[in-house]
Structure 1
Amino acid sequence: MSQRTPAYTGVVPPIVTPMDANGEIDTASLERLVDFLVDAGVTGIFALGSSGESAYLTEAQRDTVLDVIVGAVSGRVPVLAGCIETTTHRALDRARSAAARGADALVATAPFYTRTHPSEIDRHFREIAARTELPLLAYDVPVSVHSKLDADQLLALAADGVIAGVKDSSGDDPGFRDLVIGARELPEFSVLTGHEAVVDAMMLMGADGVVPGLGNVDPAGYVRLLQACEKGDWAAAREEQERLIRLFRIVRAVEPGTAGGSTAGVGAFKCALALLGVIDDATPALPMRPFTEVETGRVRAVLEEVGLL
């Protein structure tokens, strides 16, 4: 078994995209959020992912977001840029824009909306890697793109040097373990979990790090959790993970039956960040809606319970 030296490890939050009440990018808040994350000790930032509302933004807004993040990070940690698009050529356009703006790596999902075969998904990743120079990570998020990235397929792409890592948000724990086992013979391949409520278990399994949406709200908590895991202090890791699970209750603050899952998640993260004074406004992108006063009160109560307010 080769000694592992993955390029992407630790805590890599998928940064949210602050907006003002008119739905325009709030660049000042975004800069503060970058500093909030980096100062907490994160090891990278994933821009324009699901939590970053990439699917809701215009091309100009995506470019603005990436310009601001790369500028604010100023080389302190790697910036991974989402190139999440329906088809290969669209993803390539985003990849070229990300490279021109100074991103350090690219992140792509399987194609979506179009109905694809595994062989076409394979071709999608190979074409992106062949036509760009930055490292490429695969993002496995079947709840959004409706295709599951098979562990054997991902490991084959990694063995061929096509992908440098994977962010697994599939919820398929046996499949994730297959990835971890296969990665033992791929020393530079990064296996990152997006399963933010069971990070201690995933790290014990052999994950290289975590990409937690909740890490926007409490990056220091995830850094402590990863540090405990790296030390083998599993009791401390369990304690921190259980505190973060209590914090994760903010995603249940939205009134049932009034909004979708993206509003519940991204809306909760933004609401919490506004209450913490990191960003100025909790407005999400249309057609999502801001949290009500009652919902905001529920988020505040959770923040107080876990010691953040």
Structure 2
Amino acid sequence: MTNKEKYKGVVIPAVTPLTKDLKLDYGALEKMLHHLHKHHVMPFINGTTGESTSLSFNLKKDFIVAALKLKQTDDVLYAGISANCLEDSVKLAKICFDNGVDAVAATLPSYYNLSDDQMLRYFENLIEQVPGPVIIYNIPVTTRMSIPLKIIDRLSYHEKVIGTKDSERSEERLKESHFLWAERDDFCHFLGWAPKSAEALINGSDGLIPSTGNLCPHIYDGLYKAVKNGDHERAYKFQKLSDAMGDVYQKGKLLGESLWALKVCMHELDLCDEYVMPPIYPLGDDERNKILKHFRHQVEKENLIMNSDANV
């Protein structure tokens, strides 16, 4: 089996469900993972949407162990190992692979600005110590650095590096990524920029990693299948739904604010509570009410939650 045959499709960057005392909510986690599985999408835990930089090492470990216990036989489980301390990333990766995670994803550390050579050496050092498949994760909005494609391409030939997740909002970068990797059987390109989901898949990306999939995974399952079936018109209809649902909790908000708003919407669906880990905090009742009004209107308009065809 090639990497592109195993690591592909829709991967949802799962929120971290928390209790009021900011512990892992195991009941909510079970509901969330079931929600994803029944719509044929895969979970990615301990990532940006999961507030990973704010979680303690023990909570991340608990999340990994709990998610693996709930993993079904046909699921592929991805986990983030990003940290500012290389040793912590390596320790977390070993826990992941000891417990059955299929692949881990790592960003750059996010404190010091790094030269191109330092970026390359960091990932080479990390990869050598990690005992399993690695995805290079580029997300400048949090790391404040963009990993040059030439560095990712160089790393792509390492036997442990199976792909990249790119959340940088650059059409030029996306086109260049397709030029570099669309025909590679051993290296996968996942896009973390939801508004370009249909375009990315049509032009050669192997998968999507959209946070809105926590709410409506069937939108992305439908979009992915439409592209695979050559029905680009249908794919762009799903893209329009994705854009509308993303606006509900993201438009006009900082990243941290949007993560709370996403949990507000998920609470409305009885998937998890809306508790978030500091330094993220709720925006207040007025904003909550606005979010829920917008969300309910969109759900009713498109019949999104109950109808897996989403009126497309």
Q: Same fold per TM (> 0.5)?
A: yes
Residue 263 of structure 1: aligned partner: 257
Give ranges in structure 2 of 5+ residues lacking alignment. 306-312
What is the CA–CA distance in structure 2 between the aligned matches of 1:12 and 1:157, rounded to whole Å? 22
Alpha-carbon shift at residue 17 of structure 1 (Å): 0.8
What is the CA–CA distance in structure 2 between the aligned matches of 1:184 and 1:276, rounded to whole Å? 37
Of 276, 282, 290, the match for 1:290: 282
Alpha-carbon shift at residue 132 of structure 1 (Å): 2.0
For residues 32-61 of structure 1, give each alpha carbon's deviation from its aligned partner in whole angstroms, at most 9, with x where no partner exists: 10011011111x221100001111111111
State the percentage of identical aligned residues. Answer: 22
Residue 90 of structure 2: aligned partner: 92
Residue 278 of structure 1: aligned partner: 271
Alpha-carbon shift at residue 77 of structure 1 (Å): 1.1
Answering whether residue 36 of structure 2 is matched by residue 37 of structure 1, we say: yes
Of 197, 200, 211, the match for 2:198: 200
Answering whether residue 125 of structure 2 is matched by residue 127 of structure 1, we say: yes
What is the CA–CA distance in structure 2 between the aligned matches of 1:236 and 1:12, rounded to whole Å? 20
TM-aligned CA distance change 1:304 to 1:282, over 3 Å: farther
For residues 174-201 of structure 1, give each alpha carbon's deviation from its aligned partner in whole angstroms, at most 9, with x where no partner exists: 1122122111453121100001122111
TM-aligned CA distance change 1:4 to 1:61, over 3 Å: closer
Preserved CA contact (<8 Å) 1:4 1:186:
no
5 Å-filtered alignment, 1:1-309, equals 5-42=4-41, 44-184=42-182, 186-252=184-250, 260-264=254-258, 266-279=259-272, 281-290=273-282, 292=285, 293-295=288-290, 296-308=292-304
Alpha-carbon shift at residue 302 of structure 1 (Å): 2.7
What is the CA–CA distance in structure 2 between the aligned matches of 1:63 and 1:139, rounded to whole Å? 20
For residues 219-261 of structure 1, give each alpha carbon's deviation from its aligned partner in whole angstroms, at most 9, with x where no partner exists: 01100000001111011011111012111121247xx6xx742
What is the CA–CA distance in structure 2 between the aligned matches of 1:57 and 1:160, rounded to whole Å? 30
Preserved CA contact (<8 Å) 1:268 1:299:
no
Letter in 2 for 1:225: L
Letter in 2 for 1:20: T
Residue 308 of structure 2: aligned partner: none
Alpha-carbon shift at residue 300 of structure 1 (Å): 2.6
What is the CA–CA distance in structure 2 between the aligned matches of 1:18 and 1:8, rounded to whole Å? 25
User: RMSD value over aligned CA atoms?
Assistant: 1.9
TM-aligned CA distance change 1:184 to 1:11, over 3 Å: closer
Preserved CA contact (<8 Å) 2:4 2:206:
no
Preserved CA contact (<8 Å) 1:246 1:306:
no
Alpha-carbon shift at residue 290 of structure 1 (Å): 3.2
Provide the secondary structure at the position in 1 that maps to 2:141: helix
Provide the secondary structure at the position in 1 that maps to 2:132: coil
Alpha-carbon shift at residue 268 of structure 1 (Å): 2.4
Letter in 2 for 1:56: S
TM-score (ref. length: structure 2): 0.90
What is the CA–CA distance in structure 2 between the aligned matches of 1:155 and 1:252, rounded to whole Å? 31
Alpha-carbon shift at residue 105 of structure 1 (Å): 0.9
What is the CA–CA distance in structure 1 between the aligned matches of 2:4 and 2:106, rounded to whole Å? 22
Alpha-carbon shift at residue 267 of structure 1 (Å): 1.7
Alpha-carbon shift at residue 283 of structure 1 (Å): 1.4
Preserved CA contact (<8 Å) 1:83 1:91:
yes
Alpha-carbon shift at residue 25 of structure 1 (Å): 1.3
TM-score (ref. length: structure 1): 0.91
Letter in 1 for 2:227: C
What is the CA–CA distance in structure 1 between the aligned matches of 2:136 and 2:126, rounded to whole Å? 11
Preserved CA contact (<8 Å) 1:13 1:215:
yes
For residues 40-95 of structure 1, give each alpha carbon's deviation from its aligned partner in whole angstroms, at most 9, with x where no partner exists: 111x2211000011111111111111111111113331111101111322321221
